[in-house]
Structure 1
């Protein structure tokens, strides 16, 4: 995943040259808490789950103030993630503490070939979901989910692409899931992300600061069979303007995208989910022309 937070500061002087001034683009998204359908459906206490994610993203345009820059941009990323869950009970509430470990590969192409390639461990994520409403009978759930991003990823201040961000991040998300009918389910989540300071940003080793960013996501899911489910979703991100050396960059995010996909249960404890997504509109940053995601889940 690629940060769009510092991207507008690739500026009107030309993408490659301006990126040299700013120093780098981060591997991880400026918005922390992308979710997949059913993320806030609670599993039974005592159950564990291991999930493996593979995500490939292609970006083909860079936008400034809603206008595409006249460059032949191409920026690709591949992110592999391992996530471990363990459902426990705390004070009568179901809680899902989990950890996410990513490995990131990034490559600039065409007019962005000067960005080069970068790969390495990304920033680890500590997460938990606390369900305040947990009603499997009506298939209605409501939970609160904090994320803590720990700056463990590989980072070099003079590289244009980095697997890590060299800063702490915290996101707080709320999620609601309910059944609209026997076959149709609805998911709605919202979150806010707060950013720590990167005090070693770019070749000038400047301070990078960022305003809070917000995201709303929703899904409709349709059960074609008890094991096979299709979904469609929308996401909107806004906020997150950056400051470099105290100077505001005017690069506030305002991005809308759609997601389409399906999942299949191979027995009661194994699931495979596939999803395709694409940005519909981008105010500042790179447009995701295609996002391909696979997730394997094994519960035990």
Structure 2
């Protein structure tokens, strides 16, 4: 039996438990992008389109490498409509993520629709003159994606997820800083290959620093930290708590007044349990 077959048969359940909650769309959006919580003007309607390619081969358990033959490959596209509205002097937003794509782990693969996510945001502070924004958002991921309890790999997760995220953004001329903490809670998956799967809450902290090199070109560096999310199967703890550090480099281009393009490279730096991955991404934003 070659290494790939050995890994796919012996380590596939372990791999799934440790990687899917990290790599599926709602988690991959956690912490967002630099300046992501700078509110658009009242009445703004827009659409964001994401394309991301994420790969990884190294799997870690308790900080030690188990294998370099995971053969993880994720191609993800997301359609994200956004709408901003001022209510009683407070800026609010309604957004949704509609993700689709394909996923491969070892010799197994799946393609189709991932679970959609709906987002409601509020800005208690939205002060462009002082370059200060404070926001709170509630993310709700619904179990509407493709799911089959008998499959090893699913794009849907067959459970609800609720993430509360806060953000503070402060600008100093062309220089901006963002701090984005959040915590995510999960309902149980009552039928995960015949077992009940529960997951502990996951804490996330993202920080961004960005700089306008010109009026139409900016650069950003981001750090993402995740901790928690240990999985329990039929009441048995799996001892697989997530603790991951990742960095992302972003180059942003304002192509025209209503068009923005971000190009990104993201890489995990340290993984306690799960896959070490790297990701190439594009984000296009159009304002109607």
Superposed displacement of residue 266, structure 1: 1.6
Distance 1:30 1:95, change over 3 A: closer
Distance 1:20 1:263, change over 3 A: closer
1:19 corresponds in structure 2 to 12
Superposed displacement of residue 91, structure 1: 2.8
Counterpart CA distance in 2 for 1:21 and 1:95 is: 41
Superposed displacement of residue 70, structure 1: 3.4
- Is 1:297 the equivalent of 2:285? yes
* SS in structure 2 of the partner of residue 16 of structure 1: helix
Question: Is the contact between residue 23 and residue 158 of structure 1 (CA under 8 Å) also seen in structure 2?
Answer: no
Question: Is the contact between residue 23 and residue 201 of structure 1 (CA under 8 Å) also seen in structure 2?
Answer: no
Question: Is the contact between residue 30 and residue 213 of structure 1 (CA under 8 Å) also seen in structure 2?
Answer: no
Q: CA RMSD in A?
A: 1.8
- Is 1:197 the equivalent of 2:188? yes
Superposed displacement of residue 73, structure 1: 1.9
TM-score, normalised to structure 2, is 0.92
Aligned length: 279
Counterpart CA distance in 1 for 2:263 and 2:209 is: 15
Distance 1:138 1:242, change over 3 A: same
Distance 1:185 1:22, change over 3 A: closer
- Is 1:270 the equivalent of 2:267? no
- Is 1:234 the equivalent of 2:223? yes
Superposed displacement of residue 71, structure 1: 4.5
Stretches of structure 2 that go unaligned for 5 or more consecutive residues are 1-5
Superposed displacement of residue 69, structure 1: 0.6
Superposed displacement of residue 139, structure 1: 1.4
The aligned runs of 1:129-278 (5 Å cut-off) are: 129-179=121-171, 181-202=172-193, 205-278=194-267
Distance 1:68 1:45, change over 3 A: same
Question: Is the contact between residue 175 and residue 190 of structure 1 (CA under 8 Å) also seen in structure 2?
Answer: yes
Q: Deviations over 1:113-141 (max 9, x none)?
A: 2xx21001111111021001100112110
Counterpart CA distance in 2 for 1:87 and 1:20 is: 42
Counterpart CA distance in 1 for 2:127 and 2:13 is: 53
Stretches of structure 1 that go unaligned for 5 or more consecutive residues are 1-12
* SS in structure 2 of the partner of residue 87 of structure 1: strand
1:69 corresponds to which of 66, 69, 73? 66
TM-score, normalised to structure 1, is 0.89
Superposed displacement of residue 34, structure 1: 3.5
1:96 corresponds in structure 2 to 93
